[in-house]
Amino acid sequence: MTFARLDHISDLDTLQRMPTWVTSARAEIPEDVAFLSGAALNHLHLVLGREEVPQALLRDRLALRAAAACVAFSGRPEWAGELRDAVHLLRPGDLPGPAGEIYLAWRRAVERPVSIKAVGRALPAFEPGQIAGWLDAGQGTPVVRAAMVLEAVLSEAPRADVPALILADIVLAQALGWSHLMPLLATGLKRADLRRRGDDLRFAFHRALISSVVDAVHLAADLARRAAHLKTVAPKLRAKGAGNAVEMFLTRDAVAAAALPLPSRAARRLCDRLVELGAVRELTGRDTFRLYGV
């Protein structure tokens, strides 16, 4: 797939708006659906080329969405807020539980550029050779390759939905020339789609990407504006270590005050100040054990 350059586009709000013929079309013919998913991916590729888009933060928030979708596939009741708690409020020696493990797998998968070592860190239950074999299982266009990889994983490990989706997203990213995994497939698929094969699975992938990419583009534009505002207010922060704290907010979906590189009281004051300035949000609605994010 060939992607246009973004050099001539200067207005991020323009990029937020996916062409209406992509978002409003109700295509049912496989060729039309494949064309629309390609158009959507092209638009996302352009958005990802913008410096204003906080790439690591976008990936981390999409990882949360993908984890929530996978948890829903498994029939568990945890939602995004509970997944955040399961991971960000862990104490030394604590276990995150099954849902937390799913979230950790997605977070680890998006943290580093794609490599067998990085994938192995996210999926430690599988051998590097097995992972490499699965990643080489696909041929053809990006979506076809991703669908073939999911089929290959689930044919060998029928219960490995999360690894299959992570590896399918990785192959999609590699085929599109992206250095990092961008979680897209899980949020657009239904549980029953994972049991489809052949043309039916490829059709489900194309349909899933149309909806998930539209959401990702909107999220990217929203996070770009929020990140720009945080950078604007950062010089007003007096606390020592505030710069490193701001960098954490610019790269992570959620941050506990205790995780910031400041003394505990100073960290809480900094979070309160950032909320007051409208630069970050308190995500839990609680008075204690709070989490903050852009």
pLDDT tens, position by position, 100-134? 999 999 999 999 999 999 999 999 999 999 999 99
For 230-250, what is each residue's pLDDT tens digit? Answer: 999 999 888 788 999 999 999
pLDDT at residue 280 greater than cutoff 50 = yes
Q: What is the structure's pLDDT at 29?
A: 81
For 281, the 3-state DSSP assignment is strand
For 53-98, what is each residue's pLDDT tens digit? Answer: 999 999 999 999 999 999 999 887 678 899 999 999 988 888 889 9
For 20-65, what is each residue's pLDDT tens digit? Answer: 777 776 767 888 899 999 999 999 999 999 999 999 999 999 999 9
Core vs surface per residue 169-202: b (16+ CB within 10 A) or e: bbbbbbbbebebbbbbbbbbbeeebbebeeeebb
Amino acid letter for position 262: L
Q: What is the structure's pLDDT at 75?
A: 82
For 255-271, what is each residue's pLDDT tens digit? Answer: 999 999 999 999 999 99
Least confident window among 3-7, 73-77, 142-146, 264-268? 3-7
51 vs 182: CA distance, rounded Å: 17
> What average pLDDT does the segment 10-25 reach?
65
For 256, the 3-state DSSP assignment is strand
Going by pLDDT thresholds of 50, 70 and 90, the confidence category of residue 139 is confident
Q: What is the structure's pLDDT at 4?
A: 41
Q: What is the structure's pLDDT at 83?
A: 94
Q: What is the structure's pLDDT at 1?
A: 42
For 216-228, what is each residue's pLDDT tens digit? Answer: 999 999 999 999 9
Between the two ends of the chain, the Cα-to-Cα distance in Å is: 33
Q: What is the structure's pLDDT at 18?
A: 77
Of the chain, the percentage scoring pLDDT greater than 70 comes to 93
Which H/E stretch holds residue 282?
Answer: strand 281-282
Provide the CB-side half-sphere exposure for 232 (13 A, CA). Answer: 11
Q: What is the structure's pLDDT at 53?
A: 95
For 159-168, what is each residue's pLDDT tens digit? Answer: 999 999 999 9
pLDDT at residue 10 greater than cutoff 60 = no
> What average pLDDT does the segment 203-210 reach?
96
pLDDT top residue among 90 and 193: 193
> What average pLDDT does the segment 147-158 reach?
96
112 vs 177: CA distance, rounded Å: 15
Q: What is the structure's pLDDT at 22?
A: 79
Q: What is the structure's pLDDT at 7?
A: 41
Provide the 10 A C-beta neighbour count for residue 243. 12
132 vs 255: CA distance, rounded Å: 33
Backbone phi, psi, residue 214, to 5°: -55, -45
Mean pLDDT over each residue of the chain, to the nearest integer:
90
